[in-house]
Structures are given as structure tokens and as C-alpha cells.
Amino acid sequence: MLLYRGVRCFIAAVFLWSGISKLLDPVSFGVLIDAYGLIPKTWVMPAAILLSSLEVIAGAGLVLDIQGSLAIITGMVILFIAILSFGIHMGLDIDCGCFGPHDPEAKAFHGLRTALFRDFVLMAGVLYLYVWRFYRSIRPRAGSRLFTRFTIQKENFE
């Protein structure tokens, strides 16, 4: 349970930090989005604000363990992996835009491969959360009908 909460809070903190830092300077984040050349220029600012806001909302939802937050984060991580893979494939030498325009890591590494690796680590954490939730949903709990039936059947065989 402690590892589950730790992973959940870590992923939430990454998304909160990322979203808040980009919301503080959405114009600079819009420039980074435009550098990928994937959407029309008229959509860049709405996309920058929407994506940053969604990161903050989903991160806060994951901290509070609100249903649907993990699904939104999963979708965003998949989107980020796809965009970074596209950038690497196209040979772009740009900042990933992950933590806003003032990210010291982006200035130090200035590459998409590091960001892609980081997103794969985030996806591993997301998958862990899904596996943990699935395991908890099928495991019988003391006091539940399934647990009672399981123990009654087990006693009949002894």
C-alpha cells in the first residue's frame, strides 16, 4: 500500500510541477509546441493552455485518487511518447517542453531521448498502478461475501 501511494504521489507531483510551470508562461510553452509543427498555429495557444491545465487537474486528481485521473494521465503519457518519438524520428533538435520553458534539465541535455526515457519510466509507474489496482480488485477481503464463501468452501474440504 505504501509503494502504491508513493508511486501515485510521485507521478502526480511530476504532472503538477509540469502543468504549473507551463501555466506560468503559456506563451513560451506555445512556442515549444509550435516547434514540433504538428498542429496549426491558431491551435497552439489553446493547446498549450488546455494541455497544461489538464496536467494540473489530472495530477491533483491522482493525489486525491479520483476515478479517471489515472486514465487521463495514461493518455497524456502515451501522447507525449508519440510526440517525442515523432520528434526523434524527424531529427528535431528542440526542447521537449516537458517542464516549461525554464527547465534547467532541458538546457543541460537539450534532447528528446532523455525525455522519452523519462516518459517510459512514468509509463512503468502508471502500469504498476493499474496492476496494483487490478490485484486489489480481485483479491478477497476479510468480511466480504467472496472471502466468506472462500473460507467456507475451504473448510468443507478439510
Cβ atoms of 21 and 97 closer than 8 Å: no
* 129: its cell numbers: 498502478
Neighbours of 113 (CB within 10 A): 12
Neighbours of 96 (CB within 10 A): 25
Across 118-128, b (16+ Cβ under 10 Å) vs e yields: bbeebbebbee
Cβ atoms of 144 and 151 closer than 8 Å: no
The model carries a pTM of 0.80
pLDDT tens, position by position, 90-142: 888 887 778 766 655 555 446 788 889 999 999 999 999 999 999 888 876 55
Least confident of 18-22, 45-49, 92-96, 129-133: 92-96
Neighbours of 91 (CB within 10 A): 7
Spatial separation of the C-alpha atoms in residues 59 and 74, rounded to whole Å = 11
Instruction: Look at residue 156 and tell me whether its pLDDT is greater than 80.
Output: no
Spatial separation of the C-alpha atoms in residues 3 and 24, rounded to whole Å = 31
